[in-house]
Structure 1
Amino acid sequence: MASARTGSDGPTPAGPLYRFDASTDAAAVVSADGVVVGWTRGAEELLGCPAREVVGGSATRLLAMPTDPARVAGIAERCRGGMGWSGLIPVRHRDGSSIDVDLRVSASFRVGPDECFLISARERKQHWTVGRSVLDGFLSRSPVGMAVMDLDLRYVWLNDTLERFGGVPREQRLGRRLSDLLPGLQADTIEGLMRKVLATGVPVTDYEYAGWSWADPHRQHAYSSSFFPLLDADNSVTGVGYMVSDVTERWNARRLLSLVNEAGTRIGRTLDVMRTAQELADFAVPRFADFVIVDLLEPVLSTEGHGAWLTDAGPAPAKPVMRRAGMSSVREGCPEALARIGERVDFLPPPHGVDLLINGDPILIPVLDPSDDLWVAEQPERAASIREFGLHSLISVPMRARNTALGLTTFVRSLNTLSFQPDDVLLARELVARAALCVDNARRYTREHTAAVTLQRSLLPHALTGGTALEVASSYLPADPTGGVGGDWFDVIPLSGARVALVVGDVVGHGITAAATMGRLRTAVQTLADMEMPPDELLAHLDDLVLRLSEEKTDDEAANRSSTAFLGATCLYAVYDPVSRRCTMARAGHPPPVVVAPDGHVSFPEPPAGPPLGLGAMAFEATEIELAENSLLGLYTDGLIGGVDRDMEKGMNRLGNVLAQPDSDLGSLCTSAVQQLVPVPQPDDIALLLTRTHALGADHVVSWDVPVDPAAVADVRARATHQMEAWGFGELAMTTELIVSELVTNAIRYAEPPIRLRLLRDTRLSCEVADGSSTAPRLRHARSTDEGGRGLFLVAQLAHRWGARYTAGGKIIWAEQEIP
């Protein structure tokens, strides 16, 4: 280090204060491949290392900082171009301490066949000037870069800080313009601002810009500059001064915040796990990385879903089972990837194991070495891909949310020559944390939605049959997943006398509560239908049930109005009789059915609308219509006719036009109608139940009036036996004779006239005895000493099923037998 001399005004700098002195400065000669080939005594004194320990070894071990291949390559490129370089670099003393030195690198030169560089250094120490004012030292040593430019914008003076910022020695700057020296710093724009200051005399402050300099080639830095005019004694402008500060950290912080905010709008826009993972990969390329892969644990992607590993769920398996959920690359087709979307993967950066996913921190590998023994031994295919595509820097971040391990996201750089730095890990961690929360939300929603849809589908009928009375087809379309499952349901219920009950309903609300309530209502309708209730009475009983369900609230639900509560439902119930071809129906706030006659005429018979179920205190009314044979009867929910415009009348007209199209296959017509009316997912469930009516001809039904005389029983038995033989049911003649005998005898003994016997041949053989009494029969278990009370018990034993239904003029006792 240069010596100092003392004057009358205090310490003053010795001659070579701002220039390196080859006789006293530490100097070394380094070859192009980084090997020290020359070592001076000054270098030995500075670092405490004798020449025998240094010469022939790598110069990088003398540095007290991580190696930066991109920066070294840029500096070498400048020096090969005939220019020098200077900067502040920490070096390592022999005792292990770190020393900050001002380092200068000369233009490259040849020593024999080898390309070499002369590197000189001086320890960075605080100096007190001798005979100079404090202001002079402030200007020279300020952490803010300062310079004076003449009227032609050429350097006249600059301080040490600005020299380090640019990496261009002072001697090469003086007398030259910024645009000649540092083209990577928006030189034209900066010089334009200087000309504006010279022309107007108005300073420009805090102008921020980004670019690269020879101090750190190929890595972008951000600077804040101010420009102001310099005036002489007569206030004439003699030049322009400028001050510049390195604000890269502030710039990066703003960039980080901007990227994180943008990520919040670009990642997690849907409740889909795979799509969220792909959004993360697409967002990071090329903003942050050149290649991104998102691998999720298989339980995260499972719809059966017990979720993923919980970090407190005990020991994890030795190797994670993951699948590729998303990936993106600056290269088309992601050729770097060894697995495609959906395929199994087991990638973890060696030597890390599965614990990385559960409680590990992000992994930063600034310089990725494909020749590393761990990569070659554990993942040879990936090592080959690293080498082939020049992957040189990596960050792997475990995806975790709500104490749950979800997977691993890996960011890699290749075309971008800059290595990942510790600050980049913060951005990667933040991006992955946001994506992980979205993935976990999507996972939870998918699991709950799948459970709700499964519950709903399990509560709907799996197979429908209308017997010989009706040909049946149905179509059910769940709501758009964003709206949640609804409570639409439909059913076809066989009744006595070859009749069939048709029902369609819609529970208010969405979610598992609506699906569960739908199941309860469907069960209640089946039970009430088996009791042979007419449509209006059935809806009245169903209304009472809905009222009770609405009142079943816990104290917490009552206190919290936002909790899901059952509010009500709509329903349409119809009973079709193939003998009379009449259909009796009633509805509770539900859209009317659609009828398409055999000639193609469309109508919407409207029974009194009635209130929705759950209001109470209002009656329901039934309407009866006659249907021609081969008529098309359709029951549906409002989601089918709502459409985008929510105009129900237009929707009903569209439905009628679609169903009027000729189609011999009822199932195809049902599916086609839903596809045409609802081409895109809707926020409500959709149910459509189509039936084509048939009639039972005279050869399927016989009936006789029965006199109120016990002697008439024998004649009725004989007629019934003869009819069985005529129909070819000789095997059923004896049981039919017994059933007819018991039912007719009871009617004559206990009921009121008129009495009528009807035999009906359908999928089962039905025996019906109608009378004018409304008294219900009761099955008794007679004792062995009783003389009577065994009639209905005998009927129940012989028949497949039996029951009673009420009519306007009395009741009908019926019994059914299976036809062999």
Structure 2
Amino acid sequence: MASAGGRPDGSADEATAVVTADGTLVGWTRGAQRLLGHRAADVVGRPGGPLVASADRARVSRIAEACRTGTGWRGTVTLRDRAGREIPTDVSVSAAFRMADLGDCFLVTGHERHPDQAIGQSVLDGFLTRAPIGMAVMSPELRYVWLNDVLERFGGVPREQRIGRRLSEFMPGLQAEKLENLMEKVLLTGVPVMDHEYRGWSWADPHHEHAYSTSFFPLTGTDGAVTGVCYMVSDVTDRWAAQQRLVFMNDAGARLGRSLDVLRTAQELADVVVPRFADLAVVDLLDSALSTDEPAALLPDGMPGMFRAGLQSVRPGAPEALARVGEPVEFVPPPHDRTYLLDGEGVLMPVLDPGSPEWAVKDPQRAARMREYALHSLISVPLRARDTVLGLATFLRSENLASFAPDDLLLAQELAARAAVGLDNARRYTRERNTALTLQRNLLPQALAGVTGLETAYVYLPAEAKDGVGGDWFDVLPLSSARVGLVVGDVVGHGITAAATMGRLRTAVHTLADMDLPPAELLAHLDDLVIRLTEEEPPDGVTGNAVLGATCLYAVYDPVTRQCELARAGHPPPVVVAPDGTVGFPDLPVGPPLGLGGMPFESGTLELAEGSTIGLYTDGLIEGIGRDVDLGMRRLAEVLARTGLPLDDLCAEAVRRLVPGPQPDDVALLLARPRPLKPTQVISWEIPFDPSAVADSRIEVARQLDAWGLSELTMSTELIVSELLANAIRYATGPLRLRLLRHAFLTCEVSDTSSTSPRMRHARALDENGRGLFLVAQLTRRWGTRHTPEGKTIWAEQDLPPAARG
């Protein structure tokens, strides 16, 4: 019997009563009280006849007699509630069962039959015997007094083996002790326990774990005391299995594809399914999955080889597997061949028969392993993503005695689809990262240019982040008059775009440095270039975002004066190590990052003593994951203070100490130690602003070249000096200075106070002038003009004779 607000699905909210053979009520539930309004204390121990409408009392007696000898009864009975109202009620009466001290008893359940409910007899038929709800009555000692057919089927234990025994005596696998504790709690408190879920096995289906939902409610006596427990149980395995599959897929989705590494992703798939889904998992990939090239269309007669990429087992070492990770494999599920990878769907083999021809004849070694390790069920699913065939995933069971089912195949296909996307992402990432690395490696200097005034060393490490390599770069640029340009920069972003942008900026710096621009002026031109590059991109373009925010530091070192002029655009300051090991970060003017425009750049000047070290670096060296920038700079200073190390060793040690593992950004460190020119390598003269001084200058130059052992260059140098001085006297103003530098080359300089730059032109046959600079260009390896605050300097370089090169 159920109240109008009860649940007519056979749950613990049903109105239930226990009646003896003489019609006395000995059990009364809260559901019965809600239906008829009588409290247990008012009806328990009294005849139940007054609760039945007069017209149905004789009929009820016949029903009781039939149930004493039969299997139960179901039908409609009119009952009378506490207010005297007659209530049509759908009733189910169990077959008679015996209770201690009470004799034969009947379990009566039901719910109100409403006029608007067209519930036929077929719906009510079988509540106690055929409904999907198991029911049982337990004595105060928690021994079975009565149970219905459904509960008997759930447990697989016959009724006669249950009656009079406790649950824990014959079904310990169903968490019997915990269930009995719940029933004891209901006996003690009289409070029902609703929808308690648990998992376990049963004799009816020992190879599969089942999930059950059980509700316990008390049976009360005449004095209101609890005299027993009735419980109802439903098999919710399908619902539980669906929830478990959802949880499993969520866990698998969180674990698959995290590394952007093909082999690691394959192993992740094998790890995630063992042991929750399979006892052995193997992931075999096509050789093309590791190729850096885009895989070509796969034809049935042109299938590439396969190798084992992932392996996991419940047995240590996976002894049941024929191939180890990295070894070639040929396995596809029979009777298929490898064309199955192209268009085949998942294969489910619930039962493996190692004695069948498909295994025993065609693959006897594998059949032997199946017998040895009791591999009894298999699922195999191709790995395909974005029209790309990647390989095959195979799952097997051995210790898990349950065979794979169709639902398991669907789950395996979903897992394979997710893993395939992760594998394809990793393959594409690897290809794109290799492309970016190759591009970046080709754009960065292959070897630092040999320069006279500095000893240099560098270390560059590409980023290990998932976005790929960054845009860090550096360079050492030989400039005129033995000067050296040092540059380091950082382009925001990662991947091919950042590498290509870095190449464009490096090329621009080469061009601007070749024009002998001061550092601040060079950065201003570079800033204009970045703005133009940004404007070329569409508003939502990726490249433009990569260019915007690039940083750069440019320095020019003069080995004659030992002065280093620097300017920076949003870049960290250089680090300077004095000869005594003192380390500092000079407070130089800092300009905005490149591409912002509208603000000037300023230069600062340092004097670098012989034996000191200057370091230029990118922020990846001092900024790690969770690392404070100031801390990174202090650690860099501590490492570089070790002045006794060779420069290459010091550079490598600094990067190793500050970046011990994979880093999210590129790292570049460029160290330089000054090697100033000796006074004997430089000589200069003040030249009168008089054409007659040219001849005297030639004599002084010849004398100095003879002292340096460079007599072979006397004739060409005299001609160069004559042309440069004559050109300056004719077109320039102010005092003149002639300077010779002997370093890796012989440099001849003429300085004046004019800002006008000479230009080379081709003189016609009858022209008297215009051949001077053309002649200078023919006699030198290179020449140019360098503007200074006082005017300009025209310089020309000549290669030293082989005997004079040291």
TM-score w.r.t. length of structure 2: 0.79
* Alpha carbons 2:137, 2:147 under 8 Å: kept: yes
Match of 1:253, SS state, is helix
Deviations 1:607-657 (A, max 9, x none): 322333223232222233322222211112233234566644444333222
Unaligned runs of 5+ in 1: 1-8, 19-131
Deviations 1:756-794 (A, max 9, x none): 322222112222222232221111111222222111111
1:658 corresponds to which of 636, 639, 660:
639
Amino acid corresponding to residue 793 of structure 2 in structure 1: I
Distance in 2 (alpha carbons) for counterparts of 1:532 and 1:164: 95
Distance in 1 (alpha carbons) for counterparts of 2:582 and 2:229: 92
Partner residue of 1:64?
Answer: none
Distance in 1 (alpha carbons) for counterparts of 2:322 and 2:573: 59
How far 1:152 sits from its partner (Å)? 4.4
Distance in 2 (alpha carbons) for counterparts of 1:775 and 1:358: 73
1:508 corresponds to which of 492, 514, 518:
492
* Alpha carbons 2:288, 2:304 under 8 Å: kept: no
Are residues 751 and 455 of structure 1, via their aligned partners in 2, closer, same or farther at CA, if it must alter by over 3 Å?
same
Amino acid corresponding to residue 598 of structure 2 in structure 1: A
Deviations 1:6-46 (A, max 9, x none): xxx99x99xx999xxxxxxxxxxxxxxxxxxxxxxxxxxxx
Are residues 808 and 390 of structure 1, via their aligned partners in 2, closer, same or farther at CA, if it must alter by over 3 Å?
same
Matched, 1:785 2:766: yes
Distance in 1 (alpha carbons) for counterparts of 2:673 and 2:153: 90
Distance in 2 (alpha carbons) for counterparts of 1:287 and 1:184: 20
Deviates more, 1:742-751 or 1:148-157: 148-157
2:460 corresponds to which of 476, 485, 491:
476
Deviations 1:178-200 (A, max 9, x none): 33333332333334444444455
Are residues 730 and 340 of structure 1, via their aligned partners in 2, closer, same or farther at CA, if it must alter by over 3 Å?
farther
Matched, 1:543 2:527: yes
* Alpha carbons 1:394, 1:410 under 8 Å: kept: yes
Partner residue of 1:636?
Answer: 617
Distance in 1 (alpha carbons) for counterparts of 2:440 and 2:172: 68
How far 1:470 sits from its partner (Å)? 0.6
How far 1:318 sits from its partner (Å)? 4.7
Partner residue of 1:759?
Answer: 740
2:344 corresponds to which of 345, 349, 360:
360
How far 1:370 sits from its partner (Å)? 2.3
Are residues 563 and 769 of structure 1, via their aligned partners in 2, closer, same or farther at CA, if it must alter by over 3 Å?
closer
How far 1:663 sits from its partner (Å)? 3.0
How far 1:691 sits from its partner (Å)? 0.5
* Alpha carbons 1:742, 1:792 under 8 Å: kept: yes
Deviates more, 1:635-644 or 1:535-544: 635-644
Map residues 144-293 of structure 1 onto 2, 5 A cutoff: 144-229=133-218, 239-293=228-282
Deviations 1:38-83 (A, max 9, x none): xxxxxxxxxxxxxxxxxxxxxxxxxxxxxxxxxxxxxxxxxxxxxx
Map residues 538-617 of structure 1 onto 2, 5 A cutoff: 538-554=522-538, 557=541, 564=545, 566-617=547-598
* Alpha carbons 1:319, 1:353 under 8 Å: kept: no
* Alpha carbons 1:593, 1:606 under 8 Å: kept: no
Map residues 722-737 of structure 1 onto 2, 5 A cutoff: 722-737=703-718
Amino acid corresponding to residue 369 of structure 1 in structure 2: D
Map residues 704-783 of structure 1 onto 2, 5 A cutoff: 704-783=685-764
Partner residue of 1:114?
Answer: none
How many residue pairs get aligned? The number is 690
Partner residue of 1:522?
Answer: 506
Amino acid corresponding to residue 337 of structure 2 in structure 1: G
* Alpha carbons 1:713, 1:744 under 8 Å: kept: yes
Distance in 2 (alpha carbons) for counterparts of 1:603 and 1:150: 88
Are residues 220 and 625 of structure 1, via their aligned partners in 2, closer, same or farther at CA, if it must alter by over 3 Å?
closer
* Alpha carbons 1:324, 1:340 under 8 Å: kept: yes
How far 1:320 sits from its partner (Å)? 4.4
Distance in 1 (alpha carbons) for counterparts of 2:626 and 2:617: 18
Distance in 2 (alpha carbons) for counterparts of 1:402 and 1:296: 16
2:332 corresponds to which of 342, 348, 371:
348
Distance in 1 (alpha carbons) for counterparts of 2:516 and 2:285: 55
How far 1:153 sits from its partner (Å)? 4.1
Distance in 2 (alpha carbons) for counterparts of 1:739 and 1:336: 84
* Alpha carbons 1:474, 1:667 under 8 Å: kept: yes
Are residues 647 and 417 of structure 1, via their aligned partners in 2, closer, same or farther at CA, if it must alter by over 3 Å?
closer
* Alpha carbons 1:466, 1:500 under 8 Å: kept: no
How far 1:811 sits from its partner (Å)? 1.6
Distance in 2 (alpha carbons) for counterparts of 1:203 and 1:603: 77
Match of 2:669, SS state, is strand
Partner residue of 2:17?
Answer: none
Match of 1:527, SS state, is helix
Distance in 1 (alpha carbons) for counterparts of 2:759 and 2:443: 33
2:669 corresponds to which of 668, 688, 699:
688
Deviations 1:672-696 (A, max 9, x none): 1122223344433322111010121
How far 1:491 sits from its partner (Å)? 1.0
1:392 corresponds to which of 367, 371, 376:
376
Distance in 2 (alpha carbons) for counterparts of 1:166 and 1:651: 67
Amino acid corresponding to residue 251 of structure 2 in structure 1: E
Deviates more, 1:539-548 or 1:132-141: 132-141
* Alpha carbons 1:585, 1:622 under 8 Å: kept: yes
How far 1:483 sits from its partner (Å)? 5.5
Deviations 1:252-271 (A, max 9, x none): 11221121222233333333
Match of 1:564, SS state, is helix
* Alpha carbons 1:231, 1:237 under 8 Å: kept: yes
* Alpha carbons 1:320, 1:354 under 8 Å: kept: no
Map residues 7-86 of structure 1 onto 2, 5 A cutoff: none
* Alpha carbons 2:781, 2:798 under 8 Å: kept: yes
Matched, 1:794 2:775: yes
Deviations 1:167-214 (A, max 9, x none): 334444444443333333233333444444445554444333222222
Matched, 1:623 2:604: yes
* Alpha carbons 2:501, 2:546 under 8 Å: kept: no
Distance in 2 (alpha carbons) for counterparts of 1:550 and 1:135: 78
Deviations 1:300-351 (A, max 9, x none): 333x242x57xxx463555442332222111112222233323333321222
* Alpha carbons 2:579, 2:643 under 8 Å: kept: no
Distance in 2 (alpha carbons) for counterparts of 1:587 and 1:490: 14
Are residues 383 and 135 of structure 1, via their aligned partners in 2, closer, same or farther at CA, if it must alter by over 3 Å?
closer
Amino acid corresponding to residue 505 of structure 1 in structure 2: G
Are residues 621 and 490 of structure 1, via their aligned partners in 2, closer, same or farther at CA, if it must alter by over 3 Å?
same
Partner residue of 1:295?
Answer: 284
Are residues 815 and 149 of structure 1, via their aligned partners in 2, closer, same or farther at CA, if it must alter by over 3 Å?
same
Amino acid corresponding to residue 523 of structure 2 in structure 1: L
Partner residue of 1:379?
Answer: 363
Distance in 2 (alpha carbons) for counterparts of 1:745 and 1:779: 15
Partner residue of 2:432?
Answer: 448
Amino acid corresponding to residue 202 of structure 2 in structure 1: S
Match of 2:551, SS state, is strand
Amino acid corresponding to residue 766 of structure 1 in structure 2: T
Partner residue of 1:71?
Answer: none
* Alpha carbons 1:799, 1:816 under 8 Å: kept: yes
Distance in 2 (alpha carbons) for counterparts of 1:714 and 1:617: 51
Partner residue of 1:403?
Answer: 387
Deviations 1:514-534 (A, max 9, x none): 332222111111101101111
How far 1:146 sits from its partner (Å)? 3.6
Partner residue of 2:442?
Answer: 458
Match of 2:252, SS state, is helix
Distance in 1 (alpha carbons) for counterparts of 2:414 and 2:794: 75
* Alpha carbons 1:318, 1:354 under 8 Å: kept: no
* Alpha carbons 1:513, 1:564 under 8 Å: kept: no
